[in-house]
Amino acid sequence: MEIPSVLQVGTQSEILIKAEESESESLLVPPSFGDKQLLEGIIMSVHNENGNGAPTKVEGKYAAIIVCWLLGNGCLFSWNSMLTIGDYYAYLFPLDLATSGKGGLGTFIGICVLSAAFGLADAHVQGGMVGDLSFMLPEFMQSFLAGLAASGAITSGLRLITKAAFENSRDGFRKGAILFLSISTFFELFCVILYAFVFPKLPIVKYFRAKAASEGSKTVSADLAAGGIQTTGAEKDPEQPERLSNKQLLLQNIDYAIDLFLIYILTLSIFPGFLSEDTGSHSLGSWYSLVLIAMYNGWDLIGRYIPLIKCIKLKSRKGLMIGILTRFLLIPAFYFTAKYGDQGWMIMLTSFLGLTNGYFTVCVLTEAPKGYKVRTRTKRIGKYPRVFLLGGLFAGVTADWLWLIGKGW
């Protein structure tokens, strides 16, 4: 079987993929024992699908970047949808006593159960996607993380539009919320179809998953099957280093894990609860909390694209920790702004909170998987930081209640 010249597989050769035509950097992956048959299959699969001779590179990179961005949107779209209609919840359940409003106790409990279900689904989906993308190109991870932020910006914009469209109509709150949630549900379904039938068939995704399987990964066989590639048990290479244990992998990346925990315990202790209630003097009425949420989401999205500028991307582990700890100065800043400042200062602080949240998240999650063979980092290197991130989310939401101390609690 003749192998296309783009990927020469042999006992003395290396697998070379150009990450970008305009870049001089290349991804060099030493071949592992027993991987020739598997990689020949994936190469010929790519060759046959293209149908126009040997490709100059594994195709589908830019399509994969777009799909990753859309999947990032889908991961948080449901959660952001629940979050962004906070004004409707305030109307449905008066703040004085949540269960005495028009919604009733049953509706209130039902919404709480749905919120918990969204949180559970979000943990599974985000953890799986981050683990999946951690052994592919860093651009895929960055695009996925940008999509997470974009979901907040899109839902905020969509909520502002639906609120404005029905503001003066009878029962406008309810109509706007129903339209908003209907659009969100349709988009969620679209993302499920995209991941199940489009993403696994992209040539570059097939390649990275096949390479992960050839290097000893035990979790990508089903992913390859979804792309139309069947794998057999790979013969173990006695010269390959042993897989790091879970404990070893965690200890080597504990600073990255703590970084993510600190990023999100701060962010979620302020956003969205504090911004929805303790926002100081303003003149925007019921629009104020929506504007603050939209500003946070918009700048969070911008912050996730800043690391694309290599000269200002922070790569130092110590530098990341110092920068993330410095963000805690935002706590007294928000406190005194809510007490003495006006809406302009609050909007500026909220924008800075979103900007730093997005920037540091991308810096940490794109740097953490570097320096590991696919055999070591497949899935697991992406999962552990994500566990700490979600732990930070939970701790931040819990800490959000501390702002109520001294206000009748």
Nearest to 194 by CA among 72, 301, 78: 72
Owner of token pair 């007294």: 332
Helix pair 380-399, 104-133: axis angle to 10 deg:
150
Mean pLDDT of the chain: 71
Confidence of residue 378 (pLDDT cuts 50, 70, 90): very low
Mean pLDDT of 151-162: 81
Name the 3-class secondary structure at 45: helix
Read off the pLDDT of residues 125-142 as tens digits, 9 standing for 90 and up: 877 888 788 778 888 888
Q: Measure CA of the first residue to CA of the last residue in the chain; give whole Å.
A: 74
Q: What is the 3-state secondary structure (H, E, C) of 295-338?
A: HHHHHHHHHHHHHHCHHHCCCCHHHHHHHHHHHHHHHHHHHHHH
Cα–chain center distance at 306: 16
Nearest to 334 by CA among 408, 267, 263: 267
CA distance linking residue 280 with residue 302, whole number of Å: 26
Question: In this structure, are residues 41 and 229 in contact, taking their beta carbons and an 8 Å threshold?
Answer: yes
Plot region of 271 (φ>0 → left; ψ -120 to 50 → alpha; else → beta): beta
CA distance linking residue 220 with residue 208, whole number of Å: 10
Mean pLDDT of 3-11: 37
- Rg, the chain, Cα only: 24
Confidence of residue 359 (pLDDT cuts 50, 70, 90): very high
Question: In this structure, are residues 144 and 69 in contact, taking their beta carbons and an 8 Å threshold?
Answer: yes
pLDDT at 97 (0 to 100): 45
Structure tokens at 265: 């315990």
CA angle 158, 122, 183 (to 5 degrees): 25
Mean pLDDT of 352-359: 93
Map out the domains of the chain as residue ranges.
Answer: 15-59+202-226, 61-200+242-404
Mean pLDDT of 252-270: 87
Confidence of residue 99 (pLDDT cuts 50, 70, 90): very low
> Does residue 378 or residue 88 have the better pLDDT?
88
Query: In b/e form, how buried is each residue of 43-61, taking b as 16+ CB within 10 angstroms?
Result: bebbbeeeeeeebebbbbb
Specify the pTM: 0.68
Read off the pLDDT of residues 209-247 as tens digits, 9 standing for 90 and up: 887 777 666 555 555 555 555 555 545 454 555 566 667
Read off the pLDDT of residues 166-195 as tens digits, 9 standing for 90 and up: 766 666 667 766 777 788 788 888 988 998
Owner of token pair 């130092």: 316
CA distance linking residue 91 with residue 262, whole number of Å: 33
Read off the pLDDT of residues 304-354 as tens digits, 9 standing for 90 and up: 889 888 888 998 889 999 999 999 999 899 888 888 878 888 889 999 999
Four-residue CA torsion sign, 298, 386, 225, 187? negative
> Does residue 200 or residue 13 have the better pLDDT?
200
Q: Could you please report the per-residue DSSP string of 52-116?
A: SSS-SS-S-HHHHHHHHHHHHHHHHHHHHHHHHTHHHHHHHS-TT-GGGSTTHHHHHHHHHHHHH
Structure tokens at 134: 């951690």
Is residue 404 predicted with pLDDT exceeding 70?
A: no
CA distance linking residue 11 with residue 102, whole number of Å: 72
Name the 3-class secondary structure at 373: coil
Is residue 272 predicted with pLDDT exceeding 80?
A: no
Is residue 280 predicted with pLDDT exceeding 60?
A: no
Four-residue CA torsion sign, 108, 109, 113, 116? positive
Structure tokens at 294: 């939209």
